[in-house]
Amino acid sequence: MNQGRVIYEDEAEPHFRLAYPSPALAVFVEYYFEVNQPATLSNPLYLNALPNLANLVCISLTTQSWLTINQKNGTVKTIQGSRFFGNLTDLHTSIYPAGVHEFYVKFKPGMLGKLLRFQNIEVENANTDLSAFIRSDEWEDRLQTAASFNARVNLVEMMLLQRTQAVELDYRFQVVQRTLHYFAKQGINQRLNLPSICRELGVSYPSLHRYFTEALGYSPKYCQKLLRFKHALQLYKRHGSRYPFEDAGYTDFSHFLKDTRQLTQRLPSDL
C-alpha cells in the first residue's frame, strides 16, 4: 500500500492550492489550502499529516468521501462532509480519490480555540462534524458557489474577520505565540534554546511551562520537538542523511532518526 508523503508549503502540486492570510488575520491563520482531485484522476492522492499543534476547518465542496488512517493504531475513518480536525499526536494518512474537493483553513496553535472557546487538549486527534462547532451549512453554501480558490479565500477571510474582532489575546497567550515563533527559527539560529528564549522574553521556565499548558495543553519542550522535527524532515527530504542535523537543533542524524521513530513509528525515508 502507498505509505503517503508529507507535502511542505513551498512544494508545487498539481491538485493542491495554497494561500497565506491577509495581515489582519496572520496572527490567527497559518494558511488556506485546497485539495481538488479531478473526476478523471486514475490514482488517489496519499498525504501524510505529521503530529502537530494546529486545528483545521475543512469545508467539503463535493459529496465525494475520502479516507484517513491513524498510522499508530491502524484506525481507518471514512470522511464525508465538512469536518473539524484537532491537533494530532499521531501520524495520519489521508487518501483522496477522484472527485474530492476540500477547502481547508489551518489555524495557528491555540487560535481556533480562542475563536470558538475550547482548549486544544480537549480536541486532541478530534475528527468531528464541523456543525458541532460552527454553522457549517452557511460556510458550505457560500464556498460551494464561489468561482475559484482565490474567491473562496476571500469569502473565508470576510467570515473570519467578523469573529476575530472580538477576540483578545492576553499577555500569557502572546508569550506562547512568540515562543513558537522562536521555535520556528531554530534551524536559522541555534542559540535560540529554551533558556535563551526565556531570557529574551523576560519569563522564567516554570512560568513559560504554565503558559503553554494553559494555552495548548503541552509543554514548551514537546512543542519545540514537533516544530524542530517538521523542519528537520524537510531538510532530510531535500538533502538526505548527510545534512548537518545539528544545524536543525539535533545532536546528529541518529538523534533525528530517534525522534522520527518516536513521533511517527516510521523511518524518515517512509514519510
Other beta carbons less than 10 A from residue 253's beta carbon: 18
Q: Please, where in the chain does CATH 2.60.120.10 lie? A: 16-164
The mean per-residue pLDDT over the stretch 103-119 comes to 93
| Residue-wise burial string across 32-55, b where 16 or more C-beta atoms lie within 10 A, e elsewhere | bbbbbbeeebeebbbbbbbbbbbb
Residue appearing with cell numbers 519569563: 203
The mean per-residue pLDDT over the stretch 190-217 comes to 89
| Cα–Cα distance, 248 to 258 (Å, whole number) | 14
- Yes or no: domain 171-270 corresponds to CATH 1.20.1050.10: no
pLDDT tens for 15-51 read: 889 999 999 999 999 999 999 999 888 889 999 999 9
Fold for domain 16-164?
Jelly Rolls (2.60.120)
- Has residue 259 got a pLDDT over 90? yes
Of the chain, the percentage scoring pLDDT greater than 70 comes to: 97
Q: 0.75 cut: is pTM over it?
A: yes
Of the chain, the percentage scoring pLDDT greater than 90 comes to: 71
- Has residue 89 got a pLDDT over 60? yes
Q: What mean pLDDT is reported for the chain?
A: 91
Q: Please, where in the chain does CATH 1.10.10.60 lie? A: 171-270
- Has residue 190 got a pLDDT over 60? no
Three cell numbers written together for 243: 545534512
pLDDT band at 121 (very low <50, low <70, confident <90, very high): confident
| Cα–Cα distance, 255 to 31 (Å, whole number) | 30
Half-sphere exposure (Cβ direction) of 138: Cα atoms closer than 13 Å:
8
The mean per-residue pLDDT over the stretch 196-201 comes to 90
CB 85 within 8 A of CB 56: yes
The mean per-residue pLDDT over the stretch 150-179 comes to 93
pLDDT band at 215 (very low <50, low <70, confident <90, very high): very high
